[in-house]
Amino acid sequence: MSEASAPLSPWQTARITRIEKRTPRVTSFFFALSRPFAYRAGQHVDVRLTAPDGYQARRSYSIASAPESGAAIELAIEKLDDGEVSPFFHEVAAVGDEIELRGPLGGHFVWSDSDGGPLLLVGGGSGVVPLMAMVRHRTLRKSAVPVALMFSVRVWDEVIFRDELISLDDRRDGFDLVLTLTREAAQRPSDYSRRIDTAMVMQAQARLPQPPALAFVCGANAFVSAAAQALIDAGISADIIRTERYGV
Amino acid sequence: MVTRGFSSGRKPPTETDTRIPPGQYLEQGFPVLSAGPTPRVRTEDWSFTLKHGPRPIKKWNWAEFNQLPLTKMTRDIHCVTAWTKFDTAWQGVLVDDILADAGIEAPTGFLLAHGYDGYTTNVPAKDLTTGKAMVALLYEGKPITADHGGPARLLVPHLYFWKSAKWLNGLQFTERDEPGFWELRGYHIYGDPWREQRYSGDP
């Protein structure tokens, strides 16, 4: 294979440097890359596991860390009981292990502060991960772009990055966090306890100084379908809504 | 590189693993992926336009398009996000039959498929003709749901499934191989799952 046709994102080895439990079902794994790459908030990597007999399993995981946060990348991986790769990470992977990955991948569900805003981010469960990279990117860039993050989870203990998000919300610097718990009472006065609907989107939108210029919606397929429809019904043009879906 | 502690517990049985391209796993469900919200296109508003460059060759409405010969195609499909689904059963109009109805043979070697959502994807003409691809109208005997690209989607089962454009409203012959939506955003220009052509620059 000639140099010119080499893959833009070749497989590389990355070492797990830190493991941090985020919620009962989501754990963050920090990887030191052997070939560090520049990436944009919202991009993902493909991870590949290889068994002794050569069998391989691969899955895509969004990067949770901001591009400017240093050489290590953070993947926040939700454990799926019927999964093949996520149980490996949750039950087997340890600090020091070497894992194959390639990236950065995906050029659509991405945002940089130079893209402007205001921005409406809508995440369901672990769908918040690529949105977290955008929020962290905004913070580290000291960007003034107004951002509202609507984050839907079942219960308070499943709010991934909860302390960090609440402390960013408390800064009152143009980032607004709207939590909604679908199976528990709201814990903060400004939060909700129901599924995301049109009225909630309109209220979240009203926290932005102008209507959003871009909206990103990420989560399980049923969540994204319902949330994207709620955005459209709230008057947001389908042309500015980008989605990323997973699951059946 | 062998991953410490990872075993091949999910390795497919040998009678099926020859049907699973490298890096793919077998999925029983039918996952939904799209870059934006799901367009709701009513069949009374639907139309399909065949173009050569900017020039329309022929346009069909839903009733006219449904008069074209219907062909059954049952194929394994392969999504770049690594799932493979066996024996998906479609019915639709072969691209060959669309060209025949328009009274033309492929005037160039390349096409762009267009969707109602503004999505585009490029496929060489030889991959759409000679019975290899269709505009699908039915999935498992029923109208294709909006989530899965209905009323009509392209079906090019031998390439990664992002090539099978949802909410299809046209095919356009182009003089050159013009990258489409995902091909401009880091995905492979051709997308052969058996050669694992997922991303730009993959051999």
Helix axes A198-206, A221-233, angle to 10 degrees: 60
Residue A60: strand pairing partners: A46
Within 124-143 of B, beta carbons closer than 8 Å to A belong to none
**Chain A neighbors of B4, CB-CB under 8 A:** 92, 97-98
C-beta atoms of A8 and B6 within 8 A: no
| SS3 state of residue B184 | helix
Asked if A88 lies within 8 A of B5 by C-beta distance, the reply is yes
For the whole prediction, is pTM greater than 0.80? yes
Decide: A27 and A79 in contact? Cβ < 8 Å.
yes
- The verdict on a CB contact (< 8 Å) between B37 and A107 is no
Q: Does B37 touch chain A (CB under 8 A)?
A: yes
Give the pLDDT of chain B (203 residues) as one tens digit per residue.
Answer: 999 999 877 777 766 778 999 989 998 888 888 899 999 999 999 999 999 999 999 999 999 999 999 999 999 999 999 999 999 999 999 999 999 999 999 999 999 999 999 999 999 999 999 999 999 999 999 999 999 999 999 999 999 999 999 999 999 999 999 999 999 999 999 999 999 999 998 98
- For residue A248, the model assigns a pLDDT of 60
How is the beta sheet containing A241-246 ordered, strand by strand?
A175-181, A147-153, A119-124, A214-220, A241-246
> Is B24 contained in some domain?
no
Q: Is residue B9 part of a domain?
A: no
Q: Are B98 and A77 in contact (CB under 8 A)?
A: no
What's the distance, CA A212 to chain centroid?
19
Q: Is residue B17 part of a domain?
A: no
Domain count along chain B? 1
Is residue B6 in a domain? no
Residue B127 lies in a domain: yes
> In sequence order, which residues have a C-beta less than 8 Å from that of residue B170 and are 6 or more positions away?
B48, B49, B50, B51, B113, B114
Predicted pLDDT at A4: 44
Query: Is residue B171 in a domain?
Result: yes
Query: Per the CB < 8 Å rule, is A242 touching B32?
Result: no
Across the interface, do B201 and A8 touch by the CB < 8 Å criterion? yes
pLDDT tens, position by position, A151-168: 999 999 999 999 999 999
| Domain interval for residue B89 | 44-195
List, in order of start, the domains of chain A with CATH numbers: 3-105 (2.40.30.10), 113-246 (3.40.50.80)
Residue B110's domain is classified under what CATH number? 3.90.420.10
Whole-number Å distance between alpha carbons of B22 and B12: 12
User: Edge-to-edge strand order for the sheet containing A98-105?
Assistant: A56-62, A44-50, A98-105, A12-21, A26-33, A72-78
Q: Is residue B201 part of a domain?
A: no
Q: Is residue B19 part of a domain?
A: no
- Does residue B145 belong to the interface with chain A, where contact is any CB pair within 8 Å? no
Q: Smallest Cβ distance to A50: which of B3, B29, B184?
A: B3
User: Which residue has tokens 């909604």?
Assistant: A180
